[in-house]
Amino acid sequence: MKNCFAYILVFLLVTSCGSVGFVGKSNRKGKSESLAANSAKAYDRIITEEAVTKSGLFDVHKVGDKYYFEIVDSLLNREILVVTRFIKTPSGASNYGGEKISENTIVFEKGPTNNLFLRISTLVSAAHEDDAISKAVNNSNITPILEAFEIKAQNDDNQSYVIEVTNFINSENPLLALSSDAKDDYKLLSLEKDKSYIQEINSFPVNTEIKTVKTYRAKSGSDKRKELPAAILAGVVTLEINNSFILLPKIPMRKRLYDERVGYFASSYLEYGDDQQKVDRNTYIHRWRLEPKPEDSLKWKRGELVEPKKPIVYYIDPATPKKWRPYLIQGINDWQVAFEQAGFKNAIIGKPWPENDESMSLEDSRFSVLRYFASPFKNAYGPNVVDPRSGEILESHIGWYHNLMSLLHSWYMVQAGAVDERARKMEYDSKLMGELIRFVASHEVGHTLGLRHNMGASHATPVENLRDAEWLEKNGHTSSIMDYARFNYVAQPEDSIPNKDLMPRVGDYDKWAIQWGYSRYADDLSISDEREMLSQMVTDSVTGNPRLWFGGEGRDFDPRSQTEDLGDDAMQASTYGILNLQRIAPFLKKWTQERNSDDYANLDQVYKDLVGQYSDYIFHVAKNIGGIYVTPKTMGEEGEVYRPVDKQTQKQALLFLNNYIFKEPKWLLRNDILNAIQSPQSKESVTKTMEGVMMNLLGGSRLSRMTFISERYENEDPYLPQEYMDDLSQLVWGDMNVFYQTNAYKRKLQKAYVSNLIALYKPDEAEGLVEGILAKLSEGYTVNTDVRSLALDNLLTLQGNIKRTIPVMTDRLTIAHLNYLKREIESVVGQTRDVDPLFIPFRRDVSIQEQSGDE
């Protein structure tokens, strides 16, 4: 494969915002009196003795109230990445200082007259520069010119051009102002130019940083709740914004081609070549450029650990509370062990921000920073900014919201409260909270290194091993910190698991993924040969060690890849989890009390969290029904990519749901809690979970999938959709006879069953907002399939059994309930004539056996 590419750039207009200003003394060099051929003004007449100059990527001159960029000729046609971030946002906004608004690639080029053009670009397609097709690629992609700057002067000594940028920076242009979508989010109108200004511009060797203050006129609407306080009070909204202009490397970093079996973020473009018979998509991962120091090249070749020429450094925002900074730094440094597996020591380092160093700025794109936001949001995130040509990560600003600690508290209390007494209070000691912060920091840093979520990592751990202290000390409860496997909720009190082994840590998969993505190989190894070698590495490694499997991000029908789950058996893990919730529930009032004068707001919130955890366990199990295992493979690997969950596992899942959600979970409906809280949502949350499960089980997508599986695997005893629906019916209804009687919970269960069965048969008849939307979404899955026929068949069977049973019943409320359901069914299927019940048996030949649950 040739090493040289002619990159064809297609330019897309994307909005950004900038924030600018000026300090410093004049530092002009090499001025010339020569005039450009097109009669540009002499350099000294534009850049006068009063000019304040800052040298860097662009030499930036401030003359009076005007700003000029001096751009050397060697920068023309070089790709420059423009990253736009908020510096300050108005009260009530959903964004915070340090958060990214947009990123775009631009180039400056010489125009045909006395001007410089600015283009915005995104790499979409490329061709080998020696191939004839490169001309066709070039001819089919033209890039828009965003701005034409008049060349005000030329510096012949520096071979540079001077352009004025004042109006461009202050204007509402698509590069440096909020996009229309962003303005809609903030409910803003046009830019108020008289209230907007350049605040500061700084220039450094490879980047120029612009800070501006932007003021927008605000929309006035009828719903003041959706408007920012500043808009209501003043009719305008003011923002401070930073634009980083970052020079991309002249020679892009060597790409590492993507393999879907390893969880990396990736970029791609279409690649054309004369020898192709189809267009290729060149997809490559995002990673930092790690190279040995020149003096260590021999050590590296011998396989010795070496320090990188430029380590990955993350600074901690000085706005971060001091007591949390050491834990955040530990979370960053936790990845050092992973990079050692890739051949580098001290490859990643967390540092405090040097607060007294005025040469450093938080907005300077040369520095990666964990930014700390004073926000009520419960979140953190780890983005990265990449060179679009190669996938090289250039910098990252991790976002950390202050109120994340309340989320960590909720998770730990309900998941670990049964086994760690430190979790049994509303305010944790600093050491415990610091440990929780450390694990989240490690997770977010993993994203900034290029790693995606691996929701299947926890499935590699057998459930019983989650109760084995010796095994956990060696392996941890999940193989990847990139999973959403928060804490070990399977561990039981009698297991005596040390507290440190309840928390996730950088695991086997993480170390191996860093090794795969960051290990360096000989420069003379072609990219195609490297790809073959790395592909074989995945095949050999994962085949022999399931802990190295990348299970995706939980967006398919694979029950192994789920968020918030643990272990290789959802039914067993969820049973242990519910046992611990049953231990916790009686103590919630005690654990949530801080002072005698407190109300029950803490209890209300923690009870919601406990019910939410219970709901997670239920849905972890439900995903097994109609599930499909998805295991990406190459052509050289054995085994199938797609396999249905086996029939017995699906039946076990249905029995679990019968025991723990179809039957009323009275242990969760505690009067001492429900009579103390005011939130109706909390009181109905268990019922809502049950209704959600029923909607899930009778969804068109699930049943159409089961139909497909039954046809594709008919010789392997699949779980037939008709068998599944009969089993579900039996568990919901049982045998109706003269002694049949329902309680309030079971009546709600049966109503949910009927309404979802009707929606399955006739999506247009679905009632309620959620039910109606889901029914319409499922409609496409079930049209012209047997699913609607089965739904009708079950409705008719139920209708017949209700008509047969009502006359012999004695419980009035049950009779009223069944009459209501009979009318509901009749409204969509019509009335059927009375028939001999022998011809409409309710209980069919079902193999599922009902079990008693722990209530």
Whose tokens are 């068998």? That residue is 723
CA atoms within 13 A on the CB side of 720: 10
Please check whether residue 610 is in contact with residue 584, taking contact to mean a CB–CB distance below 8 angstroms.
yes
Whose tokens are 């995130």? That residue is 381
Handedness of CA 293, 296, 297, 302 (dihedral sign): negative
Query: What is the mean pLDDT of the segment spanning 96-118?
Result: 87
Report CA-CA distances (Å) from 356 to 318, 353, 361.
11, 9, 11
Element (H, E) at 18: none
Lookup: tokens for 721: 């959709």
Rounded distance between C-alpha atoms, residue 154 and residue 174, angstroms = 27
pLDDT at 855 over 80: no
pLDDT at 629: 95
Rounded distance between C-alpha atoms, residue 369 and residue 421, angstroms = 35
Query: Higher-confidence residue: 469 or 681?
Result: 469
Please check whether residue 79 is in contact with residue 69, taking contact to mean a CB–CB distance below 8 angstroms.
no
CA atoms within 13 A on the CB side of 783: 8
Query: What pTM was estimated for this model as a whole?
Result: 0.86
Lookup: tokens for 70: 């001096």
pLDDT at 773: 52
Lookup: tokens for 798: 């139920």
pLDDT at 10 over 80: no
Rounded distance between C-alpha atoms, residue 761 and residue 782, angstroms = 9
Lookup: tokens for 786: 């047997």
650 burial type by CB count under 10 A (0-12 exposed, 13-18 middle, 19+ buried):
buried
pLDDT at 42: 81
Contacts of 316 (CB under 8 A, 6+ apart): 325, 328, 329, 350, 351, 352, 353, 369, 370, 372
pLDDT at 222 over 60: no
Closest CA to 844 of 781, 775, 777, 798: 798
Q: Which parts of 144-249 are beta strand (E)?
A: 145-155, 160-164, 188-191, 197-204, 207-218, 236-247
Least confident of 132-136, 462-466, 505-509, 562-566: 132-136
- pLDDT category at 781 given cuts 50, 70, 90 is confident
* Number of other residues whose CB lies within 10 A of the CB of residue 737: 9
Whose tokens are 């920012």? That residue is 228
Rounded distance between C-alpha atoms, residue 846 and residue 723, angstroms = 7
Contacts of 357 (CB under 8 A, 6+ apart): none
Query: What is the mean pLDDT of the segment spanning 452-457?
Result: 96
Return the amino acid letter for 736: M
pLDDT at 607: 95
Rounded distance between C-alpha atoms, residue 245 and residue 190, angstroms = 25
Lookup: tokens for 138: 């070039």
Closest CA to 750 of 793, 795, 784: 795
Please check whether residue 492 is in contact with residue 463, taking contact to mean a CB–CB distance below 8 angstroms.
no
Please check whether residue 1 is in contact with residue 125, taking contact to mean a CB–CB distance below 8 angstroms.
no
Handedness of CA 761, 630, 649, 458 (dihedral sign): negative
Please check whether residue 554 is in contact with residue 453, taking contact to mean a CB–CB distance below 8 angstroms.
yes
Rounded distance between C-alpha atoms, residue 724 and residue 718, angstroms = 10
Least confident of 15-24, 168-177, 385-394, 838-847: 15-24
Q: What is the DSSP string of 561-618?
A: S-TT--SS-HHHHHHHHHHHHHHHGGGHHHHT--STT--SHHHHHHHHHHHHHHHHHH
Q: What is the DSSP string of 181-194?
A: HHHHHHTEEEE-GG
Lookup: tokens for 460: 């590699």
Rounded distance between C-alpha atoms, residue 102 and residue 244, angstroms = 11
Least confident of 110-124, 242-256, 390-404, 756-770: 756-770
The residues with which 211 forms a beta bridge, in sequence order, are 19, 242
- pLDDT category at 98 given cuts 50, 70, 90 is confident
Lookup: tokens for 116: 């410089």
Return the amino acid letter for 832: T
For residue range 557-608, list pLDDT tens digits in order: 999 999 999 999 999 999 999 999 999 999 999 999 988 878 899 999 999 9
Q: What is the DSSP string of 812-833?
A: HHHHHHHHHHHHHHHHHH----
pLDDT at 157: 81
pLDDT at 131: 55
The four Cα atoms 799, 802, 807, 809 give a dihedral, to 10 degrees, of -170
Least confident of 134-138, 216-220, 427-431: 134-138
pLDDT at 228: 78
> Backbone dihedral region of 416: left (phi > 0), alpha (psi from -120 to 50 degrees) or beta?
alpha
* Number of other residues whose CB lies within 10 A of the CB of residue 791: 24
Lookup: tokens for 315: 């600074």
Rounded distance between C-alpha atoms, residue 771 and residue 58, angstroms = 58
Give the largest CA-CA distance in the chain. 109
Q: Which range in 6-20, 21-35, 278-292 is most confidently predicted, on average pLDDT? A: 278-292
Query: What is the mean pLDDT of the segment spanning 263-290?
Result: 78
Please check whether residue 22 is in contact with residue 198, taking contact to mean a CB–CB distance below 8 angstroms.
yes
Closest CA to 324 of 262, 370, 287, 266: 370
Contacts of 80 (CB under 8 A, 6+ apart): 57, 105, 106, 107, 108, 245, 246, 247, 248
Lookup: tokens for 539: 């095949």
